[in-house]
Amino acid sequence: MGKYIVGRLLRWIPSIFILLLLIYALVFFGAGDPIKLIFLRAPGDVAYDEARIEAIRESAGLNRPFPVQFGDYISHIIRGDFGNSLVSGRSVNEMLSAAVPVTLQIGLTAVFFLALIGILLGVIAALNQNKLIDNLIVGFALFIWGIPVFVSGPLIIVFMVMVIGADIPYGWSGLFSPKVIVPLLVLGLNPMALIIRQARAAVLEVMSEDYVRTARAKGLPSQIVVFRHMLRPVLIPVFSQLGLIVINTLNNSILIEKVFGLPGLGRLTESAIKDSDYPVILAIVLIFSIVVMLSNLLVDIMYPLLDPRAEYKRKGGEE
Amino acid sequence: MSAALISLACTMVVFAGGGKETSSVESGQVLRIAHPTLTQSWSPLQGGGHQVRWQSLMWAAPMYFDKEGNLQPYVISKAEPSSDFVTWRLSVNPKAVFSDGSPITAEDVKGTWDLCVIPSTKHQRADLFLGGVKGFKEVASGTQKSLSGIVVKDSRTLEVILSEPDPIFDQKIATALIPPVKISQARDANGEEKREWWHPKNKVVVSGPFMPESMDLDQGIVVLVPNPNFFGPKPKLSRIIITTVSDASTATLMLKTGKMDAHTELITPTLIDDLGADFVSGPPLAKGHHFWFDYSKPPMDDINVRKALIMCINSEDLAKAAYPKGPYIPATQILNKVPGVDPNFQKYPYDPEGAKKALAASKYKEGRLLPKIMFVGISTPTHEAAAQYMAEQWRKILGIEGVEMKADLDSYSGPDQKSVQIFRDDVGTRVPDAVSYLLGSIHSSSGNARGKMGGYKNPKVDALLDEAKTKGVKDPARIKLAQEAQRIFRDDYMYIPYYYDVMSKWAMPWVMNFDKNDDWQVIEPWNVYIDESKKVKK
């Protein structure tokens, strides 16, 4: 297993390099002049003095050829230095060290709870197939899957102020602050629908398996059948969705953090894109890519633990 | 939909009677400002970006214009020109001190202005204020680090030598965008701006009425408290909290429910419905939006076509189409707000019959024979409504069917990009001066004439403005010549007047004395207070 993980990690290096090259090229050749874009970041801003803009571009080293700039960037990345923001001159490392923990805390907590509740609801729905409770859960899943977070976020804020008369849950005071509950809920709702549907489908499939029928025929209590015999195979398809859920969560964090004022990677992304601050954009892309790759690696590592046949196949065995 | 929800929410909140007063604290009044971007730099030497709108809270400008538009001393107490307006002697206010009590010196002023001009500082507007100073080009291009035209005579006196006469140099430096900073704190050994010197963690000293107590750049929260050593009047507010609220709906709800008192700049389609007309009201700006004809492109190369198109438009209906609930003022002449607005200016008539006659007199004769008319600058629903109104008038009156409108040139395909004839854009001036206004809008050297009007050049207009700019501010000939130039320009039928801008205060009605100037700055931050009786009761 250790060899496998090291192999996977080594294979990341060219992937990340190509990704960075692509993003850097996109920004370099396609996104317009970064200095002009920085100058034009607020209404009423001006960028008409070409000579001055050229001088600023030169002072920032932006008029060097693409390979030189990219090579310079990569050499800094290798040393763990993401450079400085073009807009503020602030260290990107410093910005990330503040933003990453917030997004990670919220993202992981949301994924944990959405998985827990999603699996539970999926199992309940499957055990009550075609009954009212199944219809309610499936209907709920469809409903939340259909509402994008940029609608549900503001809607929940309006609802809270309107019905509860509560304060707007805005800002960040740590993971254990009550203010985090609503953003977590909004962040988790959408991917939870995916889990519910996957879990329900998996339970329905497992329920028709011989070993479940045998367990029931033996007279085992329902809870034992579910938790001991059904849950593990049910987790396999659910777990395989982890990569997708992580991507979804990261995407949604951009909107959630903006709406609820959370100082995480999502809000930083929005601000960097608005300002065309490409050292920040590149660093965030890199972090997002690593998180997605890590989550996929985690799935690969966990998969054989849930399904030993996967390990057997990986070692070259035939089914 | 969102507007309706917000309104419903707020109405419910008001009727529910829940919540509590938010902006009055025991120790005094707190002004809460919602800021739309996660600002990572609060350097006062950037000259642009959203954070620049709050510069006057922390930094004293060299000079400033009061609400009536009169030039007032601030850090610079006196600006005296030589008789030829080439050399200016600036005296630093002897009372001017930083928040640590140390005096603001002539070296600080010169050092700050040098720093504003060097490229690595990335000051966006240094040329507007200091572009006329001798040595500007060398510093702006990065070959020099010190403006040779600014000479420190003694700790309280500067001599500024300009490249050419400028009778309004004192007005140009009346801006909070080049505020003197403690140069030993802001500049490093290489003569460049130190990183994060403006952060309270680096014990920044400021010169304005408020000073930063804390700046959480990651959360986007800046807290300001009164500067105990401020050399002006004592501020009435005890605290200002600027919080990043990127989402416009959340910000609107916060303002409506009294969680916030003001906003840096909030633009939503339902703003007036949500927050009332007072929120966006403000004094007129010396800035007008117009539709400019590119007279190098057919059919605008024919003055009769231009005349016909203009006479189809009722200027009041045009402004109303875009902003049915205000607060913008329909435009007529180019000049507005500045001294020298022409009281005898003949606005273009709304005359459908005259328009038909003008078109008949053109080489095209009929509307259906005109080339397709293409707009750019139709970048918002409001501008689109205005352009639609014009297209409809042209269709009804002149029978013109082919009209296209897009946000920018890139939106047109290659060949069409070269044929666009109408540009919607604004012109204006920062200084209350008619000549500056027209030099930047209708003189052949202006970007507006060169770009949007297709290289427009009327030698008579140029000659009058060139002569006007050499006249002193108090010389009546300065304004007279400018007005004459504008009248000649009018007869060239080069633009459709649209509307004059206002400087919206973006503050709730309970925020008092929140007037802003043309640089978006609160003019007298020390006078701002909150009228609790006007505050929303939840």
DSSP B199-211: SGGGT----SSEE
How far apart are the C-alpha atoms of B516 and B48, rounded to whole Å? 16
Q: How confident is the model at residue B1 (pLDDT cuts 50, 70, 90)?
A: very low
Which of B87, B197, B181, B190 minimizes the C-alpha distance to B142?
Answer: B190
Evaluate whether B294 touches B451 at the Cβ level (below 8 Å): no
**Residue holding tokens 């970041």?**
A41
Rounded to the nearest angstrom, the minimum Cα separation between B444 and chain A is 16
How far apart are the C-alpha atoms of B139 and A165, rounded to whole Å? 57
Neighbours of A156 (CB within 10 A): 19
B21 touches A: beta carbon within 8 Å: no
Q: Check residue A57 and give its pLDDT.
A: 82
What size, in residues, is chain A?
319
Contacts of B259 in chain A (CB under 8 A): 167-168
The residue ranges of DSSP E strands in B178-337, in sequence order, are: 210-216, 221-226, 239-244, 262-263, 284-293, 329-330
Which of B128, B114, B134 minimizes the C-alpha distance to B172?
Answer: B128
- Nearest residue in B to A166, CA atom: B19
Cα B164 to Cα A50, B76, B149, B468, B485: the distances in Å are: 22, 22, 11, 14, 22
- Nearest residue in A to B451, CA atom: A48
Asked if A165 and B18 come within 8 Å (Cβ–Cβ), the reply is: yes
How far apart are the C-alpha atoms of B271 and B256, rounded to whole Å? 11
Is the predicted pLDDT of residue B143 greater than 60, yes or no?
Answer: yes
The contacts of residue B29 (CB under 8 Å, 6+ apart) are B23, B236, B237, B238, B239, B529, B530
Higher model confidence: residue A111 or residue B180?
B180
**Structure tokens given for B186:** 């802001």
Q: How confident is the model at residue B5 (pLDDT cuts 50, 70, 90)?
A: very low
Contacts of B520 in chain A (CB under 8 A): 44
Q: Residues B271-291: pLDDT tens digits?
A: 888 898 889 888 888 899 999
Report the percentage of chain B scoring pLDDT > 90.
Answer: 66
**Structure tokens given for A221:** 């209590």
**Structure tokens given for A132:** 């009212």
Q: Check residue B19 and give its pLDDT.
A: 36
How far apart are the C-alpha atoms of B316 and B494, rounded to whole Å? 19
CA dihedral of B509, B513, B518, B520, whole degrees rounded to 10: -70
Relative to beta strand B262-263, strand B495-502 is unpaired
Q: Check residue B239 and give its pLDDT.
A: 96
Higher model confidence: residue B470 or residue A48?
B470
**Structure tokens given for A130:** 């075609």
Beta-bridge partners for B405: B375
Nearest by CB: B247 against A162, A163, A259: A259
> What integer best gives the mean pLDDT of chain B?
89
How many helices (H) and strands (E) in chain B? 19, 20
Is the predicted pLDDT of residue B262 greater than 90, yes or no?
Answer: yes
Asked if B49 and A158 come within 8 Å (Cβ–Cβ), the reply is: no
Burial tier of A62 (Cβ tally within 10 Å: 0-12, 13-18, 19+)? middle
Evaluate whether B118 touches B145 at the Cβ level (below 8 Å): yes
Q: Which of B10, B40, B130, B196 to mutate to test the interface with A (most CBs of A within 10 A)?
A: B40
Neighbours of B190 (CB within 10 A): 10
Is the predicted pLDDT of residue B242 greater than 90, yes or no?
Answer: yes
Rounded to the nearest angstrom, the minimum Cα separation between B195 and chain A is 7
Evaluate whether B274 touches B256 at the Cβ level (below 8 Å): yes
Higher model confidence: residue B463 or residue B268?
B463
**Structure tokens given for B4:** 């309706």
Asked if B245 and A48 come within 8 Å (Cβ–Cβ), the reply is: no
Rounded to the nearest angstrom, the minimum Cα separation between A319 and chain B is 53
Grouping H, G, I as helix, E, B as strand and the rest as coil, residue A66 is: helix
How far apart are the C-alpha atoms of A256 and A10, rounded to whole Å? 34
pTM of the model: 0.81
Q: Any alpha helices (H) in chain A, and if so which ranges?
A: 2-25, 34-39, 50-59, 66-78, 92-127, 132-146, 149-159, 181-207, 210-217, 222-224, 231-240, 242-260, 265-275, 278-306, 308-314
Give Rg (Cα) of chain A: 24
Evaluate whether A131 touches A202 at the Cβ level (below 8 Å): no
Q: Check residue B317 and give its pLDDT.
A: 92
Rounded to the nearest angstrom, the minimum Cα separation between B141 and chain A is 5
How far apart are the C-alpha atoms of B351 and B355, rounded to whole Å? 6
B249 touches A: beta carbon within 8 Å: yes
Asked if B12 and A38 come within 8 Å (Cβ–Cβ), the reply is: no
How far apart are the C-alpha atoms of B510 and B532, rounded to whole Å? 7
Q: Residues B334-383: pLDDT tens digits?
A: 999 899 999 999 999 999 999 999 999 999 999 889 999 998 888 777 88
Neighbours of A207 (CB within 10 A): 17
Contacts of B249 in chain A (CB under 8 A): 154, 157-158, 259
